[in-house]
Chains A and B, each alone.
Chain A
Amino acid sequence: MTEPDSTGPRDRILDGIRSALRTSIVPGNQETAPDSAAEEAAINREIILSRFTEELDLLGVDCFRESTPEEVARRVGLLIGGRKIFCWDSASLPYGIASVLRDEQVVTDRDNHGSQAEAEIGLTGCSAGIAETGSLMLIPGEGTSGKNSLLPEIHVAVVKESDIYYSMKEVFDHFKQELRKAPYVNIITGPSRTADIEQTLTLGVHGPGSVIVVIGP
């Protein structure tokens, strides 16, 4: 940790700003357009869920909705098959999914980025889903690194139905403390993509080119 650097540049910049503000021409407050936003709280669960799955569909994210923990685990087992997995610690994975993973398919080295990047599938839970944009918010913690959802070519995320919110605004309010405490937070909206070359949509540049969501009860 460093103390505020009070020699030189900091104070000169701040003084410069203060004197700039004396001559500055910044437009004053204007009337804002009426905001008739429907109160999100009033939106019912089914609407939230269907918006979430619609948005995922638009993003090209495959989405499965399962009604029991066993079905979630079975679905995840089917999705990953025998492929190499880089996943959250088994204790952190929801619905006891860890039971469908075989030891030899799981990357256990927590520090070696090279071996982590060789896994084909990253398997994670999810702190919150955002229906409005089809986004997944992942707050890292002990055993739940952001690397799981970044390095492999496929990301499988398991989301609890009750963790799906309508808007980002709501999520920012609800997770206020967690958002401050974590060293970083990722909000993932669909696969890694680029349109740099002649505006041609191409998936999987640096992050996963494919994202799969399993919604559990």
Chain B
Amino acid sequence: MESFSARVRHALKDRDLQFALDRATAHLRSRTRTAFNSLENADAVRDKARQAKLDVLKNLDRYLIQFEAKLIENGTHVHWAETGRNACGIVLDIARNRDARNIVKSKSMVTEEIELNRALIENGFHVVETDLGEYIVQLAGERPSHIIAPIIHMTRDRVGRIMHEKLGVPYSDESETLTAYAREKLRREFLNADIGISGANFGVAETGTVCIVTNEGNGRMVTTLPKIHIAIMGIEKLVPGMQDLDLMLKILARSGTGQKLTSYTTLVNGPGNSPADGSPEEVHVILLDNGRTNILAGETAEILACIRCGACLNACPVYNTIGGHAYGDVYPGPVGSIVTPGLRGLAPWKDLPYASSLCGACREVCPVRIDIPRMLLSLRSSAVSETPQPPGIRFGMKLFGFLTENPDLYRFFGRAVRIVVRALLKGEWISKLPGFLDGWTKKRDLIKPPQESFQELWKKRKKRND
């Protein structure tokens, strides 16, 4: 894979992407604001939802055992997967044992995370994404670029061309026509499917309920028509009880799409008694770790409270500039910059915590108030201490540390630098610093230092006032 900065450079040059992002995220942000206005006691709801998620994390082992017991009581098969590979293996085993061939999937980030489609296709299964955006991503051979709006990076012209090329349907750039093509193609897939695979938005520990929300109805289709339903769920997705689920549902759709509630909220309790009632004969839940325990052990544990609404992506000035693909893995945006290094290891992903201006917009919009900037800083700190720094940087940092601890010296040096730079500088901006200092001005200009420092101004002002 290209380096992070190369990916960013490409994204910045992609005019379609820039155009699509500008429009879409502004739209989503304004819808979310309006939707929260309609929520009574929004602050209390968010606080309580946060407490419920943190409570689950602090007692995760107990809640998982409770959830498992309820699932089994309801007749659901429970599987535990330490890695993505294990989870794919479990799905493959179920599919082989039941002589399945056709598999339909509803939208699920966790199955992207474990690259389930690839495993299924390599083993000869026919697997189709059924969320419209995910379907188009699959046709195009790409990856989703947003947690809830997978093709936020595509123009409708591009969607029309992809469908025309891959499905042989007449070209159109009308959302309605393109959606109708998908409905027809996918309806056939649903009716012929042997297995339906979904993720899980929430698992209710108290009742053994898996909650899946979708707007299109793909979540309902995959849990209703095929004889077998497999839900793959990260171990952190639990909530204690139904009343906590109510809190989560209140904030999820509002933060995600600006709706009060998603069109379809499906509560899956287990297999049904007869096919006529529209429930599968067999339900499996796969509880996936895949690095989550590692996250739980450290300073970024709080990110496991994330409900994957995507609001932090829409709010983030960096996401809005570089789009989802530049982050290089499944989870983009501020949340991804913490989750990806946590799940996959910090060393190969140490650039991600820097993909932020630490402006705090993500923390502000997060419905469960996750302190993303704090964790980005902590990851930056780990990234620096894990990688050996060049001697120049080490010396520079030591010097800076020394100066900040000695106020008189600090003032003296500051003053000296200001005087020298002001004497040498012609214009208002410095576009290139000499020697190794050039690293700073490569990506930004430096403004001419002021005549007096803040401390000096402050002293003067105090004197005047005294």
Contact = CB atoms under 8 A, between A and B. Distances in A.
B72 interface: yes
Interface string A39-53: 000000000000000
Given A14-B65, A35-B44, A192 B267 contact: no
A10 B264 contact: no
> Which DSSP category, helix, strand, loop or mixed, fits chain A's interface?
loop
Interface in A169-209: 169, 172-173, 176, 179-200, 202, 204-207
A24 B278 contact: no
A72 to B, nearest CB: 25
Contacts of B263: 188-193, 207
Contact of B61 (A21, A25, A133): A21
B277 A24 contact: no
Nearest to A55: B260
A191 B59 CA distance: 38
Task: Say whether chain B's binding surface is mostly helix, strand, loop, or mixed.
Answer: helix
B260 A189 contact: yes
Contacts of B298: 23-25
Interface string B392-435: 00000000000000000000000000000000000000000000
A17 B60 contact: yes
Contacts of A114: 191
A205 B216 contact: yes
A133 B263 CA distance: 10
A194 B289 contact: no
A67 interface: no
Size bracket, chain A contacts = 35 or more
A111 to B, nearest CB: 6
B44 to A, nearest CB: 4
A184 B28 CA distance: 31
Interface stretch (A75-83, A98-106, A139-147, A157-165): A139-147
B80 A33 contact: no
A134 B259 CA distance: 11
A205 B191 contact: no
Contacts of A206: 130, 183, 186-187, 190, 216-218, 220-221
A190 B133 CA distance: 20
B151 A197 contact: yes
Nearest to B218: A206
Contacts of B293: 13, 16-17, 20
9 residue pairs, one from A and one from B, having the closest CB atoms: A207-B217, A33-B43, A32-B47, A20-B297, A205-B216, A196-B133, A35-B44, A206-B217, A183-B272
Interface of B: 20, 23-24, 27-28, 40-41, 43-44, 46-48, 50-51, 54, 57-58, 60-61, 64-65, 68-69, 72, 75, 77-82, 86, 130-133, 136, 149-151, 154-156, 159, 175-176, 178-179, 182-183, 186-187, 190-191, 207, 209, 215-218, 220-221, 223-225, 235, 242-243, 245-246, 249-250, 257, 259-273, 275-279, 287, 289, 293-294, 296-299, 301-302, 371
